[in-house]
Structure 1
Amino acid sequence: MDNLLHDLRYAIRTLLRSPGFSLIVVISIALGFAANATVFSVANGLLWGLLPVKDPSRVVMFSEGQSYSYPDYLDYRDQSGDLFEGGLAGHFPLIPASIGGKGEPERVWGQSVTGNFFPSLGVPMTLGRPIVPEDDQAGGHNHVVVLSNNLWRRRFGGDANILNHDVALNGRYYTVVGVAPAAFYGVDRGIVSEFWVPLAVASEIMPDLITEGSITTRRDNQWLMLNGRLKAGVTRKRAEVALNIIKKRLDDTYRKDEKRHDTLTLQTAGGLIAGSATPAFTLMAVLMVVVGLVLLVACANVANLLLARAIGRQKEIAIRLAMGAGRRQLIRQLLFESFILALTGAGVGFLLAAGAARAISNFQLPLPFPVVFDFNVDIRVALFTLGLSIVTALLFGLVPAMRASRPDLVGALKDGPAMFGRVGRSHLRSALVVVQVALSLVLLATAGLFLRSLGNASSIDIGFKTDNMLMVTMDPKLQSYSHDKTVQFLSHVRERVSALPGVRSVSFVGVVPLSIGASNNSYDVDAVKDHPKQNINADTNSVGSGYFNTMGIPLLRGRDFTSSTDDQHSVIINETMASHLFPGQDPIGRVIRQDKDQYTVIGITRNSKLRTIGEKPLDAIFMYLNAAPEKANSFFGTTLIVKTTVAPGALVHSVPEQIGALDPNMAVFNIQTMQEHVDKSLLLPRISALLLGIFGAVGLTLAAIGLYGVMSYSVRSRTREIGIRMALGAKPRGVLSMVLRQGLILTGIGLAIGLAIALVVGRFAASVLYGTSGSDLLTFAVVSVVLVATAAVAILIPARRAAHVEPTVALRYE
């Protein structure tokens, strides 16, 4: 132990004697660590975060993205009693609600849960009690609610006397029985639930989504997410086997006509919802590979610096070996220096990652409900960084330490030339530069692909205008408005807002384009001559009259909706749906059916983006909002679209005021310009391009530094040779060409290796790119030119120095 402490103190003193060298190494390592810790903290928050409950590793949820009917839930619950502590629980993850009481009305999101939801999780309440099985009995006192800690503090000022008081949700009153702890928002990663009510009142609090009959009897109405706590001693594998036996029994009994080959799986609760873990994992895998490459470039650069530093320390090392120091002791002391540098760099990188992760946590996705991810660094990120620092220290420190511990004793003690391992050392440094160039090319190519993807996404024709447009969303259904009252209310809103100065036109839409989610229904049309009966699934939206004109979406044929009663059963379809449903025919006047409802096509509109920027043209059908406003999706509400002649921000307050004047209890939300909404759709490609651009620039800089260091070392070690060449008549231009050729050969080798690796990475990343392939020729050509040009500049500086060597000085060198 004394020897180790002595080595540690000696290593610290040695590094402090070379502050410039130590600073450069720490900065290089810190950049690599910051990139890795940042991406790992995002992956940790997205994919691997644990719930703030008792023993979270035992809390599991059923198959990712899979929902279940209420009768199926009852069967799973009753037949799996020996697997779950407190029984199997279920919940519906997204309930929109308008909350009244003190202050302005507000739109919040909550969940309906089974009576054993909280007890099975073991959530400690901040105040009161959780929802219990007795609250979830039909006909019992089930109008109770548990508030989130955030809603309790924001809406009710953290009032400790809130228990047993009534809170208005969607026009109905619920008694507050508890307040959840601060960090708990539910079991679905990212979704912010602000209240919980018993499952028994699900059909009451959201009647347009769930009817009482459907939640108790229909097995085809799959809407429940299932979760539970495994009993002590029950493994996840054993539970999966038992649950799949139950599943087969249910499928054979109730779904024997369906071909079902899916297997029920269990995952740790707290994961992403609705099948979003797979694309998130793909993106995180790409980013982790990229930041790993950044760290490898940094390690190669530091290894080169350590090798160069060993040249200046050869006499010190030779003296210590001559005085009896063992080679193992020297290697240990040199490794201590590497560990100190790595740990210092890891600490700086960890701090940088903490700031970057906090900034990324503030980004908002274009979703109708709040999504919050905590990407702040935690103990898992800290342990990851610590482990990475140990591996990194060995990676960049071991080989230089072993090389440095084998000097030419005679030459070093006589202040002679550095003869120890010169050829081997030169080859090693050249190999490290090739690695740096190759990995930097991979980084630049990946960054280039994502930048090109962002450019493509930004230039995609979305099919509608974004300038001078304001959006304000409300949901009359949450106020229990009848059909006639809703139509009247929307008409009055249009009149009042249209009269405001600076307003050009006003309309409504159920689902704003590029909101990711949408309703999808099946439609068919009768067969005609030469065309059989057609049936397709199409995105369904409800719009007000004047919507297409307000949005700048041209009508190709037919007419728009009017207030006429003739439009009660009229629809407008986009050109994709027209070509699929009526190939080679005139759709105007044709009848489309959805189940028992019939609609007449009155217009065809040009294609526009519906869900995402990168989607292919989808079938879309637009219904008249005034005909059935109750069919508008409650998740989205009804959005007022205001086209202005002035900056839309000038109407941010006046438009909601007009709505409040008609109904003070009407909550308004998602107040933003159309441009802000569309910008959110570009959030992921923009973040990816930004991060990868930064990582690529860091890799390029480190590679340039590595090339410069190797060529400078080569020039210094060949100074005498260069002097002899010039004394014998060599021209400066020839010396310049010789050095440039050496550096460019290393660059070329690294370039070839890097292109091969980049093609593999690009193919893997292709699924998250917009409008470009993973092997885009232009991108690879541009980044190759950039890398060669940067390398040429890095090589040119020592090459020019070599070309201006004085022969007389060079002959006396060493």
Structure 2
Amino acid sequence: MKLIPRARSWFRSVSHDAQLQRDMDDELRFHVESYIEDLVKSGVSRQEATRRARIEFGSADAHKEAMRVSLGLRLWDELRSDVRYAVRMLKKSPSFTAIALLSLTLGIGANTTIFTLAKHLMIDRLNVPHPEQLRLMNWISPKHGAVHSIWGEWDKENGGNTSTSFSYPVYEYLRAHNHQLSDLFGFKNIGRANVTIDQAAEVVQADLVSGNFYSELGIAPQIGRVIDDADDKPGATPVAVISDGYWARRFGRSPAVLGKTITLNLTPVTIVGVNPKGFTGARQVQSSSDIYVPFSLQPQVAPNFRFGSLLTNTREWWMQIMARTKPGVNEEAARAELDIALKDAVRATMNPKKDEALPTLRVGDGSRGLNEAGRNFASPVYVLMALVGFVLLLACANLANLLLARTSARQREMSVRLAMGASRRRVLRQVLTESMMLSLLGGLGGLLLGYFGRLAIPHLVTNAWEEPMSAAPYDWKVFAFNLGLSLLTGILFGIAPAWQATRAEVNTSLKDSAQSTTRRRRGYGGKAVVGFQIALSTVLVLGSGIFLRTLVNLTSVDPGFETKNLVLFEMRLPQARYPVGKDLVLYRDLEQRLAAIPGVDSVGLSSVTLLAHSMSNDDFVPTGQKPEPGKETAADDNAVNDDFFKTMRIPILAGRAFNASDTETSQKVAIVNQALVKQFWPNENPIGKTFETSGSNDKKELFTIVGLCADTHYDDLRKEPPPTFFLSYRQASDISWGMTFEIKTRQSRAAITPMLREALRSVDRDLPLTDVRTQDEQIDGLLQQERLFATITGAFGVLALVLACIGIYGIMSYNVARRTNEIGIRLALGAKTQQVLAMVLREASWLAIVGVVVGLGAGLALVRLIRTMLYGMKPWDPVSIAIAAGLLLGVSLIAGYVPARRASKVEPMVALRHE
């Protein structure tokens, strides 16, 4: 019989077992009755015919059993029997079952939760038709390349720069010269944008998209229509498409949203459609922007750097480009064609210098979009997966130990089974069935725990004042992972007890002293499992100590400014209402109104928020110093107001701070930090020296240094303070990205927020107040990953200590019980109780020492793999090693003391009679 028909027949028999039994009974009855009738017709009496038929056919049950074997149902019958027996045995030990299920639920649930996160970040694809066809354009160039200004994602690679950002003129050139891939389409997340709906201001995430964005992705609207090529032309009616989430959150899913006019960065746009549920755009899988508008609106709704429209600007590389592959097209040929077009476009639009290298185009997988979150969180997620894997292994070791003791107590039962003809394979399967029952039930609990865990994770990895990313979907991949992990777990903790059950010596085990040999074997097996537990516990405790020490080291770093009583909020002004000049007027007006709030000591402004993973970097060429050929000189910069240094309590070490005399038309001045002086003017007084830096459209501007300030950490506590120069925001060439207000106040954040909102409404009611937080909260957000790891590993470390304590206590209690006779003899021969106590504790100590040594070796090897996540310490940190070793040895001695004391108090005569 072929496989598929046979499988179909087997499943039909299993699913209709009662009917199969009736059919077999009917068929046997038919044959028996036919045989009887034939004998009666030949002259045999019916009674004699019946007797002969019974002799001829034998037992009906034997025939039915043979028929079930021929149908392949014997294994199914045995499995059902094993499952029923396993359920009865688990019901008989409710405490054991509860402990086992709790351990497995926690272990499997933690792994399911982290896998769901990993899948969402690194496996899930964009929710579009055939995402595997999508290709994302990116480029790479040597360090001294033709591309100087990038708005968006970029990275270092092989000593050069790589990015997915392109200029709009380059996009148009590539689109016109593409003949291999489908039509190129573009998109750009412009970040936060101000929206006014029914006179209420708020902040949303907005994307710019090309007119063919939706058609090339194959996306149809939920209601209304999508953006098309007609919308992406100069002079077209401004339209927008909103996400399903924003439609539900802001408009209650009302169809009346179609045709509604809202203002996006003070530009009226009409909502013409709603994206389908689950569509997150082309940028990432984890979350969607709220509003999508065509590229043609960029000059009105997006920051334009005061350089005019980015649609005609050749200097700024800012948008992303994607395409789909075509059937039968060679991708390398398509890449080569576009690479030639890219180099031609750069030559035609940018006029690069002779020594500036042209970028090389690369075509990458676009099925997950830009996937910045996946790249940023890849290493932490791998570490988390390893940690929860260790926790599950620890739970498996603990359960294996419990099952070894449970199997040892059932050794006589197993021997009886073997004596009555059961095969060792059948006994093995019976014990493994119990393990599988536990692991599958624990897997169900873990599935439920993982479901709620996935809802909590977005809040754990997002700052309190930010919108969390969407929860990871619970799809078939999660269920498959959970099922596979549950089955593997059942094998891991069940194989040792199952193997022990099959090792029973029938004749020996059925005697009264049957347990001795088994106990000895179980003692060796139990010690090995407990040693493994201690080693795993050591790894987890060492890891928790290292991550905790890293967090402590980072929180102890002096940022270089005072963080107490500082309240922050950011503001980006719509340039349609606040062009060059008017933005300064509003900032000055708002600064004065904020300073007048009761309890406010001073107000600072800065173009870069300190310790927020944000930065601004520009050319820095000291006058009289000729840059080395091919070597770029640059420094971080920050445009600030006059009271910035006073508000942040950053000392001015020489010269002066900015003041009212530093105006838009006065001599351009700057303040530099110690790190910059050390790099460019070591052992010199920088006051009065001059330097050039790039201004608007790469125009060089000359600045005179008037002050020297102390070093401060700029964007990260892990890095040393970088060379930094500060400009007066009145003299900065570009503050269109917005400004951060730093308010030194004696009031709490909650108390001052309504006053801040009222001050903002008094200058412009269309400007929303968002992301109000303290500087301490900002730093907490900066250290969120380190804090998360310290918390999780700390919890795992405590759990590891508890499980190790239980394991040590269990094995020592078992060994004391096993050696009761020996202890009685020692006491009867004159041994002192202190000697017995020391003997038992020595055994526990050696077990702990071996486990700790192995665990430290494994832990130190693993810690080297995560050394980039550490700070202020070496991977072989002696403090963490000493704490981990001390805790495990201490817990082991404490856990072993109770059984040891019990052994030292045993009565010799009672012990000698004990078996």
Normalising by structure 2, report the TM-score.
0.83
The aligned counterpart of 2:432 is 335
Aligned pair 1:614/2:718, yes or no? yes
- The alignment of Structure 1 onto Structure 2 pairs a total of residues equal to 803
Q: Distance in 2 between matches of 1:364 and 1:467?
A: 24
CA deviation profile, 1:79-132 (whole Å, cap 9, x unmatched): 554444xx2322112244221231421222211111222222233322211112
Aligned to 1:720: 821
Q: How far off its partner does 1:19 sit?
A: 0.9
CA contact under 8 A between 2:243 and 2:290: conserved in structure 1? Answer: yes
Distance in structure 1 (CA, Å) of the matches to 2:200 and 2:691 = 43
Q: 1:523 aligns with which of 601, 620, 630?
A: 620
User: Residue 361 of structure 1: CA displacement?
Assistant: 1.1
Asked whether the equivalents of residues 824 and 912 of structure 2 are also in contact (C-alpha less than 8 Å), the reply is yes
- Listed as ranges, the matches of 1:193-342 within 5 Å are 193-209=289-305, 211=307, 215-216=311-312, 218=314, 221-231=316-326, 239=331, 242-244=334-336, 246-247=338-339, 250-251=342-343, 254=346, 264-270=362-368, 273-274=371-372, 277-342=374-439
Q: Which residue of 1 aligns with 2:841?
A: 740
Alignment deviations for residues 400-437 of structure 1 (CA, whole Å, 9 cap, x no partner): 11211222323332332314555443322222122111
Contact 2:126–2:369 under 8 Å retained in 1: no
Measured in 2, the distance between the counterparts of 1:128 and 1:452 equals: 55
Give the superposition deviation at 1:22.
1.3
Q: Is the 8 A contact 1:90 1:117 kept in 2?
A: yes
SS at the partner of 1:109?
strand
Query: Which residue among 753, 772, 778 is the counterpart of 2:873?
Result: 772
Given the superposition, is the C-alpha separation of residues 113 and 371 from structure 1 closer, same or farther in structure 2, using an over 3 Å criterion?
farther
Distance across 2 between alignment mates of 1:792 and 1:449: 24
Residue correspondence of structure 1 range 22-421 to structure 2 within 5 A: 22-62=97-137, 66-78=164-176, 80-84=178-182, 87-137=183-233, 139=234, 141=236, 143-189=238-284, 190=286, 192-209=288-305, 211=307, 215-216=311-312, 218=314, 221-231=316-326, 239=331, 242-244=334-336, 246-247=338-339, 250-251=342-343, 254=346, 264-270=362-368, 273-274=371-372, 277-363=374-460, 365=462, 370=467, 372-375=469-472, 377-421=474-518
**Aligned pairs for 1:537-576 within 5 A:** 537-565=634-662, 569-576=668-675
Show structure 1 runs of 4+ deviating over 6 A: 260-263, 528-535
- What secondary structure sits across from 2:602 in the alignment? strand
Q: Would you say the 8 A contact 2:173–2:341 is kept in 1?
A: no
1:217 to partner: Cα distance: 6.4
Measure, in 1, the Cα distance between the counterparts of 2:289 and 2:576: 20
Structure 1 261/322 Cα, relative in aligned 2: closer, same or farther at 3 Å? farther
Deviation of the 1:456 alpha carbon: 0.9
Say whether the 8 Å CA contact 2:599–2:745 is kept in structure 1: yes
Larger radius of gyration: 2
Amino acid corresponding to residue 823 of structure 2 in structure 1: I
Distance 1:704 1:364 in 2: 32
Pairing 1:528-677 to 2, within 5 Å after superposition: 536-565=633-662, 569-595=668-694, 596-628=700-732, 631-634=734-737, 637-677=738-778
The Cα offsets for residues 156-178 of structure 1, whole Å up to 9 and x where unpaired, read as 44441232333211222222221
| CA deviation after TM superposition for structure 1 residue 244, in Å | 4.8
- Amino acid of the residue matched to residue 556 of structure 2? S
| Residue in structure 2 matched with residue 692 of structure 1 by the alignment | 793
Q: Deviations over 1:49-90 (max 9, x none)?
A: 332323434444345952233344345445554444xx2322
Q: Does 1:431 align with 2:431?
A: no
Please tell me whether the aligned partners of residues 367 and 515 of structure 1 are also in contact (alpha carbons under 8 angstroms): no
**Change in CA separation of 1:196 and 1:240 when aligned onto 2, cut-off 3 Å:** farther
- Does 2:905 align with 1:804? yes
Give 3-state SS (helix, strand or coil) of 2:771's partner: strand
Deviation at 1:672, TM superposition (A): 2.0
Given residue 704 of structure 2, which amino acid in structure 1 is its aligned partner? T
Alignment-mate amino acid for residue 733 of structure 1: Q
In structure 1, distance between residues paired with 2:421 and 2:283: 64
Encode CA deviations 1:638-676: one digit per residue, 9 max, x unaligned. Answer: 222221123343211012101201211222222222222
Say what the alpha-carbon RMSD is for the aligned residues.
2.8
The whole-number CA distance in structure 2 between the counterparts of 1:429 and 1:240 is 59
Would the aligned equivalents of 2:178 and 2:337 in 1 still touch at CA under 8 Å? no
What SS does the corresponding residue of 2:416 show, helix, strand or coil?
helix
- For the Cα contact (< 8 Å) 1:91–1:112, is it kept in 2? yes
* Counterpart contact for 1:95–1:112, Cα < 8 Å: no
SS at match of 2:317: coil
1:784-799 map, 5 Å = 784-799=885-900
Match of 1:484 among 549, 574, 581: 581
Aligned position for 1:680: 781
Equivalent position of 2:570 in the other structure:
473
Instruction: Kindly state the Cα deviation for residue 758 of structure 1 after the two structures are TM-superposed.
Output: 1.0
8 Å CA contact 1:79–1:246 kept in 2: the answer is: yes
Q: Distance in 1 between matches of 2:331 and 2:629?
A: 49
Match of 2:54 in 1: none
Identify which of structures 1 and 2 has the higher relative contact order when contacts are C-alpha pairs closer than 8 Å and 6+ apart. Answer: 1
- Partner AA of 2:283 in structure 1: D
CA 1:485/1:445 → structure 2, altered by over 3 Å: closer, same or farther?
same
**Deviation string, structure 1 residues 289-331 (Cα, Å, up to 9, x no partner):** 1211111111111111111101111111111222222211111
Distance 1:552 1:125 in 2: 53
Look up the SS of the partner of 1:105 in the other structure.
Answer: strand
Q: Which amino acid aligns with 1:627?
A: Q
Q: 1:444 aligns to what SS in structure 2?
A: helix
Provide closer, same or farther for how the CA distance between residues 185 and 420 of structure 1 changes in structure 2, counting only shifts above 3 A. same
Listed one character per residue, the Cα deviations across residues 168-221 of structure 1 (whole Å, up to 9, x for unaligned) are: 112222222211134333232345411111123323322524856654463x53
Unaligned runs of 5+ in 2: 1-75, 139-152, 154-162, 348-353, 695-699
Tell me the distance in 2 between the aligned counterparts of 1:207 and 1:684: 31
Q: Which is further off, 45-54 or 750-759? A: 45-54
Q: Distance in 2 between matches of 1:528 and 1:480?
A: 42
**Alpha-carbon distance in 2 for matches of 1:294, 1:54:** 39
Is residue 119 of structure 2 the alignment partner of residue 21 of structure 1? Answer: no
247-256 or 692-701, which moves further after superposition? 247-256
* Residue number in structure 2 paired with 1:456: 553
Q: What amino acid is the match of 1:267?
A: D
SS of match in other structure, 1:668: coil
| Paired residue type of 2:290 | E
Q: 1:392 and 1:229 mapped to 2: Cα distance?
A: 42
What SS is found at the alignment partner of 1:677? helix
Report the Cα distance in structure 1 between the residues aligned to 2:596 and 2:126, rounded to whole angstroms: 50
Report deviation, 1:474.
Answer: 2.3
Q: Which residue identity is paired with 2:549?
A: R
- Which deviates the most, 646-655 or 524-533? 524-533
Q: How big is each residue's C-alpha offset from its partner over 1:679-722, in whole Å with a ceiling of 9 and x where there is no partner?
A: 21121111111111111222222222222222122112111122
Percentage of pairs with the same residue: 35
Q: How far 1:789 moved relative to its partner?
A: 0.3
- 1:631 match: secondary structure: coil
